Amino acid sequence: MNKNIKSRRAQLGNMTMVIAFFFLIIVITAGIILGSYLFFSENYEFREVDAAILNKNARNCIKTQEVNWDNNKEVLEEEFYSKCNINFNSTGNSWFIQIKDEKNEILNLGKGDEAQCALSEKNPKYMRCVDSTLKMKIKEREYNFIISTGSNQLSREKLT
């Protein structure tokens, strides 16, 4: 009878370690599930970043490429697309580029305008926009370019 009591006491130590082991497994599993849910359940918002990248590319193109700004709008659009390596299919629906010289609009590409940019503060579903200015002298003429770019690329919706 004495032997049975001693062997049961030894088993009690092993059983407490099993409880601690299961507790750790539950905590680690809950952490993985919670971390995955928090990471994958939020919307991905890239519209402002897209607009900033497009603005930077347009500014760099204006600085480095020799675009003839005196052409009519159709020829200027074609020249801007080809020299700046911008794909019309990508800018047609979700993005826009607007280039002005002070108050005169020089170029307007894609779907969008300043009104949608102004409404983006009131309605989060409108496109996000980025503006920049660039002063250049091209062929004896001083240009003060105002470059507005916007993106309405749909963000990823919440997983349900």
State residue 33's pLDDT score: 95
Q: How many domains is the chain built from?
A: 2
Q: pLDDT truncated to tens, each residue of the chain (160 aa)?
A: 555 555 565 566 666 778 889 999 999 999 999 999 888 776 677 888 888 998 998 899 888 888 887 778 888 888 888 888 887 676 567 788 888 887 788 888 887 777 777 887 788 778 888 899 988 887 777 888 888 888 887 655 554 4
State residue 26's pLDDT score: 97
Same domain? 36 vs 51: no
Alpha helices in 42-110 (DSSP H): 47-64, 73-84, 88-94
State residue 34's pLDDT score: 94
Same domain? 31 vs 54: no
CATH classification of the domain holding 75 = 3.30.450
Same domain? 67 vs 10: no
State residue 2's pLDDT score: 56
Rounded CA-CA distance 54/109 in Å is 12
Main-chain phi, psi angles of 53, to 5 degrees: -65, -45
Same domain? 70 vs 100: yes
Q: CA angle 37-38-44, nearest 5°?
A: 110
Same domain? 68 vs 142: yes
State residue 159's pLDDT score: 45
Same domain? 62 vs 89: yes
Same domain? 97 vs 136: yes
Same domain? 37 vs 67: no
CA distances from 146 to 75, 100, 111 (A): 20, 5, 18
Number of Cβ within 10 Å of residue 111's Cβ equals: 15
Same domain? 17 vs 88: no
Same domain? 61 vs 114: yes
State residue 127's pLDDT score: 83
State residue 30's pLDDT score: 97
* Angle of helix 73-84 versus helix 47-64 axis, rounded to 10: 100
Is 21 within a domain?
yes
Domain boundary among 41, 58, 73: 41
Residue in the structure block whose two tokens are 């599993």: 29
State residue 119's pLDDT score: 82
Rounded CA-CA distance 106/146 in Å is 10
Same domain? 18 vs 53: no
Domain coverage including residue 112: 47-151
Is 160 within a domain?
no
State residue 76's pLDDT score: 86
